[in-house]
Every structure is written in C-alpha cells, then in structure tokens.
Amino acid sequence: MYNKATVLKNFGKLVEAVECYDKALRINPRHAWAWNNKGNALKKLGRIQEAFACYDKALEINPKHVEALYNKGSLLYDSGTPQESIIYFKDL
C-alpha cells in the first residue's frame, strides 16, 4: 500500500495517495516514511494543519528522520514562522 501511495503522490493523485497512506498506516502505524509522505501530499492539497500532524507523528516515531525534520521546518518557514523553523534545520 505504501508504494502504491507514493506512486499516486508522484503522479499528482493526491487524494488517492492520502487514502493509500491511511491504509498503509492501519497496517503499520509506526511507518515513519508513510507519515512523512502523507504529510507531503496533504501539504500539496493545502491541508496544512494535517500535514503538520503527520510530520509530528513521523518525528515521534523517529526523532532523527531527516526528511520529516526538513519538511516540518520548511512548512513552518512557509507558514510565516521562520524563527520556529530553525530548530528543525539545525540537525540536518
């Protein structure tokens, strides 16, 4: 399911991708990559708060998940809180 979701996301089928990530996360709720990539799809859909929640979940599972750190920091920066974003970039 995870791989299918990633392919769907890469082809711009974001709603379908989120649905597949949800299925993958029901199978393995500790799949940090699925949380991170679901966050990316949600960000592209403009569902910013949900994207933040996904990045947070990925980082809860793996605090050193480089992509989730970068994605959360970038989203904070883009959301107008550049000072808050710095803590997510310092370990990259």
- Residue 40 is predicted with a pLDDT of 97
The pLDDT-based confidence of 92 (bands split at 50, 70, 90) is confident
- Express each pLDDT in 59-82 by its tens digit: 999 999 999 999 999 999 999 998
- Residue 90 is predicted with a pLDDT of 82
- Residue 27 is predicted with a pLDDT of 97
- Residue 51 is predicted with a pLDDT of 98
Instruction: Give the distance, in angstroms, between the CA of residue 1 and the centroid of all CA atoms in the same chain.
Output: 16
32, 68 Cβ separation under 8 angstroms: yes
How is domain 2-89 classified at the CATH fold level?
Answer: 1.25.40
Rg (CA), the chain: 13
The CA-CA-CA angle for residues 73, 75, 77, to 5°, reads 70
- Express each pLDDT in 27-44 by its tens digit: 999 999 999 999 999 999
Q: What distance in Å separates the CA atoms of residue 41 and residue 15, rounded to the nearest whole number?
A: 8
- Residue 89 is predicted with a pLDDT of 87
